[in-house]
């Protein structure tokens, strides 16, 4: 499969996805019997989420990441859309986006705001744009994503749950929606900070069932700012591999390390400004999503007409589907849940190849980025599963 080939929706639902990882880890710790992914039994599971670690990108740069490559077990689908907010919530809840309801970088929670007055930027938890006002009062995290997190459920069941994340993540809307309220939050942002924290934790040995979740953002940042495969990106991949190498070497018997990504990434291709064509805004109340996948919220009864206009304008550069088509084809997985149906755009538009559907006025920074994700190409959708277990000395 080529990097820009589409991964069809039936593959997202027929095989393991990122939503299967935490249930599999819970089973390995003795809590539950759902193990779609090969996480070994033991007293400790460390899950490291490397933002932007795509399976195809790892394969193309295997020489820079010998530890990751040596322990790679398989590829799996991140889920749709292939973007951080949706993927982190899938990992934290064990649910697909059609069930947890975080439908991408941004969307309109029309179940909570029927008039579509505001777009929720789910990554920043802001209104309308990435730098808009806080959305916490209008869209409380528990209302947007009411399902319990698996982290909270495991903690209540007696598992020691540790979250190793940047300090600024604590209490944010996305953290609450994706992970709940992990009581033991160890502040760590850089690769070196995460390395030291994980080495300290695995060095404590068997302290009963423990799930350690750690997050690294630097690879994704380099990909967005400099492009996937750029020298800066390659430097960050080497650093990630160094963290993984050191943790693998320190794993005691009964401890396992599982590494994956939340999405891959592609280099920016041709940009189509969807703000500049009046036909694309006729009978449209709100426009959300990101440059690789757009959700279009139409005036009542206008969805089919809006879909035809977008299809006429974009032609072969995008797949344009109505909400009914999206649900029938299970783009967001099984369901969707009742509270999620209204959140799906009346029209959903997925860019083909490396095309970007940009909004220069609403998203000036995002429009110029050289690296993007969110769509359903193999380079964006496929993430690796990397597993290593501690061995007896």
Domain ranges of the chain: 9-101+145-266+376-389, 269-368
Residue 136's H or E segment, with its range, is none
pLDDT at 211: 98
pTM of this structure: 0.96
Q: Tell me, what DSSP letter sits at residue 63? A: G
pLDDT at 65: 98
pLDDT at 393: 55
pLDDT at 15: 82
CATH 3.30.1360.180 holds for 269-368: yes
pLDDT at 260: 98
Which tokens go with 1? 């499969």
- Architecture of the CATH domain 9-101+145-266+376-389: 3-Layer(aba) Sandwich (3.40)
pLDDT at 67: 98
Q: How far is CA 223 from the centre of its chain?
A: 15
Residue 349's H or E segment, with its range, is strand 347-351
Cα–Cα dist 40/47, whole Å? 12
Cα–Cα dist 139/145, whole Å? 10
pLDDT at 61: 98
* pLDDT per residue rounded down to tens, the chain (393 residues): 688 898 878 777 778 999 999 999 999 999 988 899 999 999 999 999 999 999 999 999 999 999 999 999 999 999 999 999 999 999 999 999 999 999 999 999 999 999 889 999 999 999 999 999 999 999 999 999 999 999 999 999 999 999 999 999 999 999 999 999 977 999 999 999 999 999 999 999 999 999 999 999 999 999 999 999 999 999 999 999 999 999 999 999 999 999 999 999 999 999 999 999 999 999 999 999 999 999 999 999 999 999 999 999 999 999 999 999 999 999 998 779 999 999 999 999 999 999 999 999 999 999 999 999 999 999 999 999 999 999 865
Q: How far is CA 14 from the centre of its chain?
A: 19
Nearest to 248 by CA among 81, 65, 113: 65
Cα–Cα dist 85/89, whole Å? 6
* Cβ atoms 122, 102 nearer than 8 A: yes
Cα–Cα dist 261/292, whole Å? 18
pLDDT at 7: 87
- Interhelix angle 231-250/218-226, rounded to 10 degrees, is 170
Q: How far is CA 160 from the centre of its chain?
A: 24
Half-sphere exposure of 250 (CA within 13 A, CB side): 19
* Cβ atoms 51, 64 nearer than 8 A: no
């Amino acid at each position: 499969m080529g990097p820009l080939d589409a991964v069809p929706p039936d593959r997202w639902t027929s095989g393991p996805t990122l939503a299967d990882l935490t249930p599999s880890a819970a089973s390995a710790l003795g809590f539950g019997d759902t193990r779609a992914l090969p996480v070994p039994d033991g007293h400790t599971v460390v899950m490291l989420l490397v933002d932007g670690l795509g399976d195809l990108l790892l394969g193309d740069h295997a020489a820079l990441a010998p530890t990751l490559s040596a322990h790679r077990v398989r590829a799996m689908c991140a889920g749709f859309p292939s973007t951080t907010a949706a993927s982190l919530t899938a990992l934290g809840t064990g649910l697909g986006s059609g069930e947890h309801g975080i439908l991408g970088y941004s969307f309109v929670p029309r179940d909570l705001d029927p008039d579509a007055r505001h777009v929720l930027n789910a990554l920043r938890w802001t209104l309308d744009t990435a730098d808009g006002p806080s959305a916490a009062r209008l869209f409380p995290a528990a209302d947007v994503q009411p399902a319990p997190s698996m982290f909270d459920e495991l903690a209540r069941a007696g598992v020691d749950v540790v979250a190793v994340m940047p300090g600024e993540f604590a209490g944010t809307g996305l953290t609450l929606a994706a992970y709940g309220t992990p009581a033991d939050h160890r502040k760590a942002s850089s690769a070196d900070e995460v390395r030291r924290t994980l080495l300290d934790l695995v060095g404590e040995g068997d302290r009963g069932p423990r799930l350690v979740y750690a997050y690294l953002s630097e690879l994704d940042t380099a990909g967005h700012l400099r492009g996937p495969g750029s020298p800066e990106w390659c430097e960050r991949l080497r650093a990630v591999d160094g963290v993984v190498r050191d943790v693998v070497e320190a794993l005691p018997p009964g401890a396992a390390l599982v590494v994956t990504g939340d999405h891959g990434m592609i280099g920016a291709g041709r940009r189509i400004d969807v703000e500049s064509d009046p036909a694309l805004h006729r009978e449209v109340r709100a426009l959300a999503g990101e440059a690789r996948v757009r959700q279009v919220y139409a005036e009542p009864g206008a969805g089919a007409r809006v879909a035809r206009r977008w299809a006429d304008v974009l032609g072969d550069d995008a797949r344009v589907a109505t909400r009914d088509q999206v649900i029938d084809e299970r783009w967001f997985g099984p369901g969707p849940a009742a509270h999620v149906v209204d959140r799906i755009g009346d029209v959903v538009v997925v860019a083909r190849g490396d095309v970007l559907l940009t909004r220069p006025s609403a998203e000036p920074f995002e429009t110029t980025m050289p690296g993007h994700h969110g769509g359903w190409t193999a380079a964006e959708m496929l993430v690796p599963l990397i597993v290593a277990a501690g061995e007896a000395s």
